[in-house]
Amino acid sequence: MNILVNGKALEVTLEKEKVLKEVMQSLERWIKEENFEIQDIKLDGKTLSLEEALNSEEEIKGVKTLELLVSGFAEQIEEVYPSLKAYLARFREVLGEGQEAFVADKRQKIEGLTWIVDTTGLIAKSLGISTRYVFHNGRSLEEILNFFDFSLSNLTQNIHDSQFFYQYFVEGIASRLVILESLLDKLLGFYNFLLGDQQEAFKASLQEEAKAMQELMANLPGLVQDGRDQDALAFIQKMMGFFESLSLLLSHAGLDEKANNCLFGYKSELVKVFEEIYEAFKTQ
């Protein structure tokens, strides 16, 4: 039996597999491991659904050709990503039309925000990148999504208060929707960087992010001294995500000596701030 994947012959030896479902189970497992997904199946020209193929008892000895059409998660995301970006823009546009228009269907707005959170999380999961690794101007994708999750609960509880509902979106959600758009670009940039694409642009972005984080972290000792321990600890958690992200990126970076020294210099400054935080805790 010949196996074609996207029109190319797959060099594979079938040993234990006797029926179609056994072949398909092995192929599906391998395809998923490669971050692809089966879109179409043809058995000697006859189209089968994935479910049919995975449950077929048809013996393969009489089959001439098994054709699979697969697409990568990145390709699927290229379809979802523009829709999400367009929805974010439309969401902000409706918000700008004023309270009366915006609160006309409050449940729709809650469902829309839920879709934004779920779709963003799905994109990150499909790309295999933690939301705590993606930053823009010191804000992480994780903290933005966490804020939206908290907001959904708050908005649902206060859905009958139209003024509160609208003001919450204006004062709390709107600015973060703008940040989310930039974070989505950074998410795809992160993924492309790990694949070896668009290296130079992302290296520049990474250096800017390290500098932004360095500047923000200088405020942490003051948070502790002012008794804002929870804020300080939340920020420390975010910084740990940044350190993990930085380590992962540097391992793939292939940076020149100057860029390497620059980024590691920022890292040294960040460590100094951690030491200051520790000393501040000791004096409390």
Q: Is it the case that residue 111 has pLDDT exceeding 80?
A: yes
Q: Is it the case that residue 271 has pLDDT exceeding 70?
A: no
Q: What is the pLDDT of residues 4-26, one digit of tens each?
A: 888 888 877 777 888 999 999 98
Q: What is the pLDDT of residues 232-267, one digit of tens each?
A: 777 877 887 887 787 777 666 555 666 666 666 666
What one-character DSSP code corresponds to residue 105?
G
- CA 136 to centroid of chain Cα atoms: 13
The predicted pLDDT at position 57 comes to: 92
Higher pLDDT among residues 113 and 273, named by residue: 113
How far apart are alpha carbons 51 and 171 in whole angstroms? 47
Residue extents of the structural domains in the chain: 2-71, 96-193, 198-284
- The average confidence (pLDDT) of the chain is 84
Q: Which of 219, 193, 220 is nearest to 206 (CA)?
A: 193
Q: Is it the case that residue 79 has pLDDT exceeding 60?
A: yes
What band does 170 get if pLDDT is binned at 50, 70 and 90?
very high
Q: Is it the case that residue 128 has pLDDT exceeding 60?
A: yes
Tokens in use for 20?
């179609």
Higher pLDDT among residues 247 and 84, named by residue: 84
At the topology level of CATH, where does 2-71 sit? Ubiquitin-like (UB roll) (3.10.20)
Listed range (61-75, 133-147, 189-203) with the worst mean pLDDT: 189-203
Higher pLDDT among residues 13 and 145, named by residue: 145
Q: Is the pTM of this model over 0.85?
A: no
Q: Is it the case that residue 60 has pLDDT exceeding 90?
A: no
Is residue 94 within 8 A of residue 100, CB to CB? The reply is: no
Handedness of CA 73, 74, 80, 85 (dihedral sign): positive
How far apart are alpha carbons 99 and 78 in whole angstroms? 34
Q: Which of 11, 8, 12 is nearest to 22 (CA)?
A: 12
